[in-house]
A and B are shown apart, each in its own frame.
Chain A
Amino acid sequence: MALETLQIQEKITQKFGSNALNFETQKGVFSFEVDSNSMHEVIQFLKEDQDLNFHFLTDLCGIHFPDNDENHQFAVVYHLHNWIENVRIKIKTYLTGNPEIDTITDLFLCSNWMERETWDFYGINFKGHPQLKRILNMDEMISHPMRKEFPLEDSGRTDKDDRFFGRTTINS
């Protein structure tokens, strides 16, 4: 018996009501949005329910939407995989300009490093994470570089001539 997307949707709606919304299939992957406060519960339910059985966390990552309103500045996306039925789902949650969300390290140990990476690059605070510190960037860094307000380029470069990068109008 294959696990149908309608079946997942029904179970989630039955349990969480209006906290889970915008069910759709994006590029062949069933996706929906969840209120950030009930994210931990939703993932726990998806993992522990006998029928759903999404026991594998494929990935977890952040997104920054600087043009959105104050309550939709950041997003965290979770990809889960049920290996037995070979079904994948994607869950998205929006966060405010001061992003905070509960950790899921108690459910998936592998999320430890993924959450650290998301904190490193987006400054999203995972409440209850055992060791929320930088993982890929150097410890001295003060910015969260994947946020759009931080420049991508290194300001310390001395051989850079603006004329060769199309940054000046007068090519003198």
Chain B
Amino acid sequence: MTESKINMVAPPEGVTGEGFFATKLNDVVGMARANSLWPLPFATSCCGIEFMATMASHYDLARFGSERVSFSPRQADMLMVMGTISKKMAPILRQVYEQMAEPRWVIAVGACASSGGIFDTYSVLQGIDKVIPVDVYVPGCPPRPEQTVDGVMQLQELVRNESVRRRSSPEYIELLASYNL
């Protein structure tokens, strides 16, 4: 064993002394959450195929603490909607979102999930933000794994800086109420 190639997340800002380290709870919680986002892949079409590559060894989403893909909404933090959502499927997507425990985040991956994409038609939901709140939009049709990884990193940045009180704030409750959640 010579040099270790393992990258560690840098500790948050704080005061270090002999035998102690003082920092804000907010920063510690944010750091922990951002580096252990469990994704719930809601893959319906080609963006889902790209996600398989993102998850596999070459692009390796596990590097960002997303090793464990959760197929139960109850143990997931990050809902990744990848692909066309038809209007018939919209209530199911909503139900999945409702089953997730707080704090929860949503990434809309690809043009279809973000805006309906090329499917400007009576049967397709014109963006998942019509039924659930979205934190990060990833453009592309389908986006390359690098773009999906970038979307996850953008979300990590959001999570890292999110106040621990945000989920009980009136603004957040109002946001959910605007979606009838």
- Point out residues on A near B: beta carbons under 8 Å: 136-138, 141, 143, 145, 150-154, 156-160
Contact = CB atoms under 8 A, between A and B. Distances in A.
A154 B88 contact: no
A26 B120 CA distance: 34
A164 to B, nearest CB: 12
A157 B122 contact: no
18 contacts: A137-B123, A138-B87, A138-B90, A141-B87, A141-B122, A145-B122, A145-B123, A150-B122, A151-B122, A152-B122, A154-B121, A154-B124, A157-B116, A157-B126, A158-B126, A159-B115, A159-B127, A160-B120
B115 A138 contact: no
A156 B128 CA distance: 12
Contacts of A159: 115, 127
B29 to A, nearest CB: 35
Contact of A156 (B86, B88, B123, B130): B130
Nearest to B129: A158
Contacts of B87: 137-138, 141
Contacts of A138: 86-88, 90, 123
A155 B38 CA distance: 36
A150 B87 CA distance: 17
A159 B112 CA distance: 13
Interface in B47-105: 86-88, 90
A109 B155 CA distance: 51
A157 B88 contact: no
A153 B123 contact: no
A143 B87 CA distance: 14
A153 B121 contact: yes
A112 B24 CA distance: 64
B73 to A, nearest CB: 22
A146 B126 CA distance: 19
Interface in B126-142: 126-127, 130
Contacts of B126: 154, 156-158
Given A137-B122, A137-B123, 20 more contacts: A136-B123, A137-B87, A138-B87, A138-B90, A138-B123, A141-B87, A145-B122, A150-B122, A152-B122, A154-B116, A154-B122, A154-B126, A156-B126, A156-B130, A157-B115, A157-B116, A157-B120, A157-B126, A159-B115, A160-B120
Nearest to A157: B126
A158 B127 CA distance: 10
A141 to B, nearest CB: 8
A154 B130 contact: no
Give the interface centre of B124, B126, B127 by most chain A CB atoms within 10 Å: B126
Contacts of B124: 154
A138 B135 CA distance: 27
A160 B126 CA distance: 11
A160 B117 CA distance: 11
A81 to B, nearest CB: 30
Nearest to A152: B121
